[in-house]
Structure 1
């Protein structure tokens, strides 16, 4: 009987040691750190945010991973972060502000939203077929316009540009970038409006299969739009960005921010920033040229220009202050 109890005790001890060795301390067996997965809401698969963050995921170290989610854009992303269905989300600065304070598209404020980093500058594209009779903004009156996915930054900015300039299309249709490009090519819409990075996938693919033109805004039109929207600025689409586009195209630029809930791990956010903006930034740029806009200097510019109206996440605050950036509190 004693031998049996002794054997039973030894067996229990072995199981206890195995159990202790396989849990706790944030480490996997063998003493290696557990992998961290962060999900991020971006935009449509034909847009810049999705492509940029897919490249970011490839540039991360093996113990830090990004789950890149295709979404309807800014508004959906802020709702996903608010509902904790995504850890991170892209948004234009104005959408992030209203998600934080409440108003416009958001019935309820979310005071727990926090800034993680500044992103690329986006350009408001206004694209028509080369054989179109549309040459300036007033020619869009009475036409059919694709205005972007519902609730996307494209939807918000496109409608605001049209409204500010008193342009009244016969119809606006909510289509994602890739769908809008197909509709323009097939002639079911007259105009494709899209807010995205430079370049962006849908426009690149469209310009290789269809002769298109990009409609400029004149200086008075730019001034009118910017006067009504303090978060935006005048800009231009550089010449030779797309097939057949030989001249720069004046228009509207809109910034972008990556947002998280305050409850996101301080260490995870710090490590994400340190990896992407310092340790592996060159690798990220190799994956997508617009990663060059995601820098410590860009964050500093956003702060200096008063574009960032939300508090910073503690992990981001720690990182940027270590890099010498003075943040608004």
Structure 2
């Protein structure tokens, strides 16, 4: 059930009778935040955000959901089981349009804030002999946890590289990044895909393992082909050498933006309160994880958001001086 606890399902059901993803019980508001796997970036950022909101809004009790990632998060938002979904832009656009995993079930999503860039990382170690996307053929790979945007983006990259996800691998697993790192250490996996901010703890762990030489596979050459089919939500970036232990060369890869999404019917005053608290805690947020350093006024762009702004969020950012474009 995408890592949702029974307690949170009950809270979400109650919220359907009150505010979107927001349960009211004994004068207390309970707000659930959909994050991701514990080895990624969404989870620590979501945990800190829940803390800020619980302290900053009287009567608020904010909690985090451990999930498979962006696709699951948008499904939870669509089902009114969470109030906030941290998500990649590609998954949010699919959800809004009712495409792919959301076919027949479009989500009335709106952007509250643009956060930071997520990097597609194709991870292996020197002992596998893998040096390119083509070298993955016949290997054992993981394309990410079920319900994750990693899985969606990995499938699109594999397709863009001219590989068949169902036929060209010796085995294709659906593991979290932490599980993937452990499987490579144990010799049970050759490579894995993971989309996140950098650095991410699972890859850092792999690179720091004694006797292991980390290898990051370049794949930026396939971006034009992917964008041609799926739209301009992806762009090329470089992960600098030394970002991870043992990473000796820059990694030329494909990136996508991240947003905080809410339902279009979230009350305007609540959106404003959440944004005000989040913005005021941005320096502490960046200490929780360096990816939050990219949560800036300059980053609040409509093109980066992909999904239309919630009206209260649009007003908030304009009042702060953002040029949304």
2:242 aligned partner? 240
Which of 1 and 2 has greater Rg?
A: 1
2:68 aligned partner? 72
Ranges in structure 1 where 5+ consecutive residues have no aligned partner: 1-33
> Deviation of residue 199 (structure 1)?
0.6
- Residues 1:321 and 2:318 aligned together: yes
1:57 aligned partner? 50
2:188 aligned partner? 188
Describe the superposition over 1:19-72 as per-residue Cα deviations: whole angstroms up to 9, x where unpaired: xxxxxxxxxxxxxxx765421111100001111222333445613353121101
2:209 aligned partner? 209
**Are residues 283 and 218 of structure 1, via their aligned partners in 2, closer, same or farther at CA, if it must alter by over 3 Å?**
closer
Question: What SS does structure 2 have at the residue aligned with 1:297?
Answer: coil
For the aligned residues, what is the CA RMSD?
2.0
For residues 119-138 of structure 1, the aligned pairs below 5 Å read: 119-138=115-134
2:253 aligned partner? 251
For residues 271-286 of structure 1, the aligned pairs below 5 Å read: 271-277=273-279, 279-286=280-287
Describe the superposition over 1:50-109 as per-residue Cα deviations: whole angstroms up to 9, x where unpaired: 112223334456133531211011111111111111101122212111211112111224
For residues 11-22 of structure 1, the aligned pairs below 5 Å read: none
Question: What SS does structure 2 have at the residue aligned with 1:299?
Answer: coil
> Deviation of residue 111 (structure 1)?
5.4
Partner Cα separation in structure 1 for residue 207 and residue 221 of structure 2: 28
Question: What SS does structure 1 have at the residue aligned with 2:116?
Answer: coil
Stretch of structure 1 that moved more, 210-219 or 129-138 = 210-219
2:307 aligns with one of 296, 306, 310: 310
For residues 93-108 of structure 1, the aligned pairs below 5 Å read: 93-108=89-104
**Are residues 283 and 95 of structure 1, via their aligned partners in 2, closer, same or farther at CA, if it must alter by over 3 Å?**
same
Alignment: residue pair count: 290
Stretch of structure 1 that moved more, 281-290 or 198-207 = 281-290
TM-score under structure 1 length normalisation? 0.82
Describe the superposition over 1:231-287 as per-residue Cα deviations: whole angstroms up to 9, x where unpaired: 00011111111111122111111111111112223222211111222x222222222
> Deviation of residue 172 (structure 1)?
1.5
